[in-house]
A and B are shown apart, each in its own frame.
Chain A
């Protein structure tokens, strides 16, 4: 069994840094969540020195809410005459992991978990198992969510998971490199009827 190391953890990339990872000309095409997710991923790749991980995984509780809510609002106004191809294309939960792959031309394993509060742990668990078994050697595991103004006022409709604007990216490698941050020891997911799912991420600070 391979050991699994975390070689970069990136979150809350300040806006001033965006230009360094994403040229403004290219950034224009992307929504807020997409930009934030992309620069967070690109920074993790830069810090770890791994530009082409074997896998890209994302965890998201609610997916691309801005685009989804826009479609719902338009359907309310225009009924079924609505036509919003771009919003629809970018409304699926896997938009972010795909965008990172498209932007970096990465043809590796690519998947997305959308399992409420433990979506990131589900993604981490997938990467961890594959790395332990030697199926892959490196993986970028991200967590991305956005909360729209609409949702804040309507938690009862969209659920009480209450995600926040959040982007985080971890680079995992079976090779500790020079400056590993943690060794990932285990990921456990616990489901109990009637309770929120729990996840335990066991890691050793190095």
Chain B
């Protein structure tokens, strides 16, 4: 019998604000955080973004960092989210925790400011993914195991999956996992090159959808063996009951027409959770609002659920696509929906598309008693993953 993996803490920062309460408020009001770019020094003001409303200096102040090292935005966002998660789980005084973080651009915002000049001497390097993970971890000093997953936009979700292995295998009692990713010129111009950025607010699953809005943020979940959590009388927020990872094996950036990778990931997650598909109450879709993703993900959802599709929505209409962090940010949204009994809805959804599912929409946030929710996170390279989060009962 596998031990149950429960969640005892979470922390989040996104375009909706800092902390869980800010996310719940916006999600229930249908208030998107996507808007005009403010902090990223880009000329491309035509693209709305899901930017976190904090400057570099404001984040340093929040974290009371006063040394003269360079910190990447990815690291600072990560520290803010991790602090909330560790505080909620009452683990800030520990030194024996494991930390797995997902990121792709890492410290690219710092690199692109200096390139082609080297960093001023005496500064620690902040470019690579692992340096960002360790920078975040060492702000707290709580960790004796760190690792970084980098599977593009599914990085944070795959970090959660690795965390489940660490706990189930008996190697670790508590693992903090998730991801962090900041906006950078590299990323914005890269996505612009692919011509998949919408100049309006993104419209997942809408017939008129014209691409994604880039976002940023971070979120971490404290995952814990059930017995350990009970023994230290931690508050249990939910259960990570199933995980699935599969490869679409079709193209580096396009998804196969029938959504093979997503289909397999969802089926594996259901099998791992040991529950029938009919018991899924809500799916937080990857739903980037690119024509290709939403069509192929809809095909995969229809293959998994048949005629009896559960409620589905994409919260990227609130945060933009937070890329490597999206898997954990949206996992937090799912847990908040489970706890507070509501369905994240797409306020601005207007035009159904026959090739897509119809997301939860309307003018008022639907209340619902949720027991099991599924969260999808897909990435470049067809790195598709899905997890199932359940109420702790």
Contacts and interface: CB of A to CB of B under 8 A. Distances in A.
B42 A80 contact: yes
Given A102-B252, A119-B130, A80 B44 contact: yes
8 contacts: A72-B186, A101-B382, A102-B247, A107-B264, A111-B149, A116-B134, A126-B165, A157-B115
Interface string A69-90: 0011101100110111100111
Q: Interface on chain B toward A: helix, strand, loop, or mixed SS?
A: mixed
B150 A114 contact: yes
A95 interface: yes
Contact of B194 (A85, A112, A114, A129): A85
A88 B194 contact: yes
A183 to B, nearest CB: 17
B150 A113 contact: yes
Contacts of B162: 111, 126
A130 interface: yes
Given A80-B185, A107-B264, A133-B168, A115 B148 contact: yes
A90 B121 contact: no
B148 A156 contact: no
Given A94-B379, A107-B246, A116 B127 contact: no
A199 B14 CA distance: 34
B145 A94 contact: no
Given A83-B192, A88-B191, A91-B190, 12 more contacts: A61-B128, A84-B190, A92-B380, A98-B252, A101-B382, A129-B168, A150-B116, A158-B127, A159-B131, A190-B145, A191-B145, A192-B144
B252 A99 contact: yes
Contact of B138 (A115, A150, A157, A193): A193
A110 B247 contact: yes
A195 to B, nearest CB: 10
A204 B163 CA distance: 27
Nearest to B161: A111
Interface in B89-121: 99, 104, 111-112, 114-119, 121
B315 interface: no
Interface residues of A, number: 68
Contacts of B134: 116, 191, 197
A140 to B, nearest CB: 12
Nearest to B99: A191
Given A115-B129, A115-B148, A75 B245 contact: no
A97 interface: yes
A92 B186 CA distance: 12
Nearest to B140: A193
A157 B117 contact: yes
A39 B209 CA distance: 40
Contact of B383 (A61, A71, A110, A158): A110
B382 A102 contact: yes
B55 interface: no
Interface in B223-276: 245-253, 260-261, 264
A116 B128 contact: yes
B111 A157 contact: yes
A125 B162 CA distance: 10
Given A109-B246, A158-B128, A94 B151 contact: yes
Interface in B206-230: none
A116 B383 CA distance: 21
Nearest to A104: B249
Contacts of B190: 71, 84, 88, 91
B44 to A, nearest CB: 6
Listed from nearest, the 9 A-B pairs whose CB atoms lie closest are A98-B381, A159-B125, A156-B118, A116-B130, A88-B190, A93-B150, A110-B247, A114-B150, A114-B129
Interface string A143-167: 0000000100011111111000000
B261 A107 contact: yes
Contacts of B43: 79-80
A74 to B, nearest CB: 9
B304 interface: no
B193 A85 contact: yes
Nearest to B133: A115
B305 interface: no
Contacts of A159: 125-128, 131
A116 B193 CA distance: 29
B147 interface: yes
A92 B114 contact: no
Contacts of B248: 107
Contact of A89 (B111, B149, B165, B253): B253
B152 interface: yes
B27 interface: no
A97 B99 CA distance: 23
A94 B141 contact: no
The interface centre, meaning the residue of B131, B189, B191 with most chain A CB atoms within 10 A of its CB, is B189
Looking at A82, A105, A156, which has the most chain B CB atoms within 10 Å of its CB? A156
